[in-house]
Amino acid sequence: MEALLYSFLAGSSTALGAVLLFFIRQPGDKTLASLLGFAGGIMLGISVFELLPEAVAFGSMATAILGFLLGTVMMYGLDRVLPHSHLSGSDDLVVENPEKMGTQKTPLRRTGYLILFGIGMHNLPEGLAIGAGLEASPEVGILIAVAIGLHNIPEGLAMAGPLKAGGLPMGKVFLFTLLAGLMTPLGTGIGLLVLQISPAMVGGSMAFAAGAMIYIVNDELIPQANGMHSHLANISLTIGLLLAFALL
């Protein structure tokens, strides 16, 4: 139950991104770079200092390596198949795999729906990471949830932008971004079922979560943060990494 609560709070932060877009002012590049860099540092630290060693302890070196590779391969596969987007600056939206949705011929609202679906599917392994982290220790699970929550705020902005530009009412944009975020607790629920099978599965799941998170950090968080403000991104990443090291 505790894992699902943390996962729900982390996932629902996508809706916070939509709220920022509608009611406040979209955060500037420096703020976003710091937030993404900090989240990336925490996720790297948790993966290297806690999840991978725990994966070997629960299972074996072989299951840890296999789980890690499966995590990275799954995220790569999702990137190749699903359309999704990210912010490259406070006013810029970059859509990856635009050919999957015919950006030139498709209304912005349809583009927004497809981006929402892509990000929702990306949130599933993030939920698994929270469940695997809590299996290692409560501190690890909380840190992963915080890092994913910070990461989801810009994702919410990236989703809400096309939907808003496509004329979707504010209430529906909020609801849809929240729905995409709720794929995170769904992933946690699936992960909790898997973790009941055997200690080897627990170890493999921890390594899987580490692989998925490191892929996300390297493929999305670090490039985005550096594109907005490289110095603040690196400082924040270092702080997040050291914080994870100190707390674990």
Amino acid at 12: S
Average pLDDT over residues 224-245: 91
Helices marked H in the chain = 2-11, 13-23, 29-46, 52-58, 61-81, 108-136, 138-165, 170-181, 183-195, 199-216, 222-247
Output the pLDDT for position 102: 47
Per-residue pLDDT at 209: 85
Mean predicted lDDT score pLDDT of the chain: 80
Name the residue with higher pLDDT: 63 or 32: 63
pTM of the model: 0.71
3-state secondary structure of 101: coil
Rounded Cα gap, residues 43 and 83, in angstroms? 23
Residue 91's CB is within 10 A of a number of other CB atoms, namely 10
Q: What is the pLDDT, as a whole number, of residue 87?
A: 54
**Averaged over 181-199, what is the pLDDT?**
80
What integer pLDDT is reported at residue 161 of this predicted model? 72
- Taking Cα atoms as reference points, which of 172, 183, 114 lies closest to residue 148? 183
